[in-house]
């Protein structure tokens, strides 16, 4: 019998980093390292993705209604299907909870799951149910499909392709900041009534994100197959680095092209004069929007697409991933650490 702490030659996970760790652990496995695994031999591919959310790390029960949590757990998994240009079809939900959770609490959680499934025409086909000693752990596995010649990886971007994002960025993180602020105040004074008025958009962005299945559908309708795509789950900087590294190229994006909602800017100015909205967009994460590259020849097809913004373009192999400010300063984008949120 041995205890984990006594191991010799110990390397901390934080030292290696999450992405490097996944690469290390799955190096020999034929694992794709993309948003989904792509399986099947025929014309129609099956996409599969799995994602675990842990209470106290990925969500805080203090301000996460269980119905929203169920919705979000499914939405996050479906976002991975959308990120490979797929249509979601089925989900499986594996839940483990402590005895602190009642059946009624789980009913609420599943109501959120059913709602998201219904909205995205996806069936809940299975799952597992177990116990923990403390807290809740949710794993959603999502399956989807896509024609073999329409699968979009992170690795297909080419020099001069246009870089686009859907929706706006940084708003989910702004919502989280509001909730964290109210939580701290509430903890100091339990009689305190949280005032969330005027923040409805950013709160909804954090608590109930929507996978951009609509963007995938609209791209198909317009006959556009992106050259590369990923979802923006850990911030725009992280997604840009993933996409450009996988594609073996660099990128240049323009700060004033990055779509940011006015509520996000308002939260930033209320929080601190040093907090920039663009930092929320680059590093905040949890927006679950899509970042994709399209060939210049598709410009006419996407330029007026609702909710899509061209933020820059793909540069040559060997070039870094950079952002250009309105003052024409070039800032190199950096990878984020291990923390998810």
Residue-by-residue DSSP string for 311-323: EEEEE-TTPPEEE
Rule CB under 8 A: say whether 219 interacts with a copy of itself.
no
Alpha-carbon distance 278 to 276, whole Å? Answer: 5
* DSSP 8-state assignment for residue 161: P
Residues 15-44 that bind a copy of itself (CB under 8 A): 15-16, 18, 21-22, 24-26, 28-32, 36-37, 39
Q: Which is nearer to a copy of itself, 103 or 197 (by Cβ)?
A: 103
Interface residue with a copy of itself, options 84, 121, 133, 283 (CB under 8 A): 133
Q: Which is nearer to a copy of itself, 139 or 264 (by Cβ)?
A: 139
Residue-by-residue DSSP string for 179-207: HHHHHHHHHH-TT-----TT-HHHHHHHH
Residues 293-312 that bind a copy of itself (CB under 8 A): none
Query: Rounded to the nearest 10 degrees, what angle do helices 171-188 and 262-271 cross at?
Result: 40
Interface residue with a copy of itself, options 141, 227, 239, 315 (CB under 8 A): 141
Rule CB under 8 A: say whether 195 interacts with a copy of itself.
no
Rule CB under 8 A: say whether 56 interacts with a copy of itself.
yes
- Least Å distance, CB 211 to a copy of itself, is 16
Alpha-carbon distance 171 to 176, whole Å? Answer: 9
Rule CB under 8 A: say whether 220 interacts with a copy of itself.
no
What strands, in cross-sheet order, belong to the sheet with 228-232? 228-232, 289-294, 162-166, 308-315, 250-254, 321-324, 330-332
Rule CB under 8 A: say whether 325 interacts with a copy of itself.
no
Site string for a copy of itself, 232-271 (x = CB under 8 A): ----------------------------------------
The C-alpha angle with vertex 84 and arms to 83 and 88, in degrees rounded to 5, equals 80
Partnered with residue 321 across adjacent β-strands are: 251
Rule CB under 8 A: say whether 188 interacts with a copy of itself.
no
Alpha-carbon distance 325 to 318, whole Å? Answer: 21
328's CB contacts (< 8 A; 6+ apart) are none
Q: Which is nearer to a copy of itself, 194 or 248 (by Cβ)?
A: 194
Rule CB under 8 A: say whether 283 interacts with a copy of itself.
no
CA 2 to chain centre: 38
Residues 147-186 that bind a copy of itself (CB under 8 A): 182-183, 186
Rule CB under 8 A: say whether 61 interacts with a copy of itself.
yes
Residues 84-123 that bind a copy of itself (CB under 8 A): 89-90, 92-97, 99-107, 110, 114, 117, 123
């Amino acid at each position: 019998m041995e205890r984990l702490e006594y191991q010799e030659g110990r390397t901390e996970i934080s030292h290696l980093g999450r992405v490097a760790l996944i690469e290390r652990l799955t190096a020999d496995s034929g694992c794709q390292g993309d948003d989904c695994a792509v399986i099947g031999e025929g014309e129609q591919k099956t996409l599969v993705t799995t994602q675990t959310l842990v209470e106290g790390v990925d969500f805080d029960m203090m301000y996460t209604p269980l119905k929203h949590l169920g919705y979000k757990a499914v939405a996050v998994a479906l976002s991975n299907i959308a990120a490979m240009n797929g249509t979601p079809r089925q989900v499986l939900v594996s839940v483990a909870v402590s005895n602190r959770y009642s059946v009624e609490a789980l009913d609420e959680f599943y109501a959120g799951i059913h709602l998201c499934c219904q909205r995205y025409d996806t069936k809940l086909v299975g799952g597992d149910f177990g116990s923990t000693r403390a807290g809740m752990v949710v794993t959603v596995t999502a399956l989807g499909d896509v024609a073999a010649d329409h699968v979009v990886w992170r690795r297909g971007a080419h020099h001069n392709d246009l870089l686009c994002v859907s929706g706006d960025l940084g708003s989910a993180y702004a919502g989280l900041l509001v909730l964290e602020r109210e939580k701290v105040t509430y903890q100091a004074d339990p009689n305190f009534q949280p005032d969330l008025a005027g923040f409805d958009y950013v709160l909804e962005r954090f608590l109930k994100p929507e996978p951009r299945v609509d963007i995938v559908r609209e791209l198909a309708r317009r006959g556009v197959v992106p050259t590369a795509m990923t979802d923006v789950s850990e911030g725009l900087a992280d997604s840009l680095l993933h996409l450009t590294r996988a594609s073996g190229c660099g990128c240049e994006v323009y700060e004033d092209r990055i779509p940011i909602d006015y509520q996000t800017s308002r939260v930033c100015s209320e929080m601190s004069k040093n907090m920039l909205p663009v930092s929320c967009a680059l590093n905040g994460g949890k927006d679950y929007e899509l970042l994709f590259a399209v060939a210049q020849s598709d410009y006419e097809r996407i330029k007026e697409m609702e909710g899509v913004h061209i933020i820059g373009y793909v540069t040559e192999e060997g070039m870094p991933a950079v952002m250009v400010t309105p003052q024409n300063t070039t800032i190199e984008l950096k990878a984020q650490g291990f923390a998810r949120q």
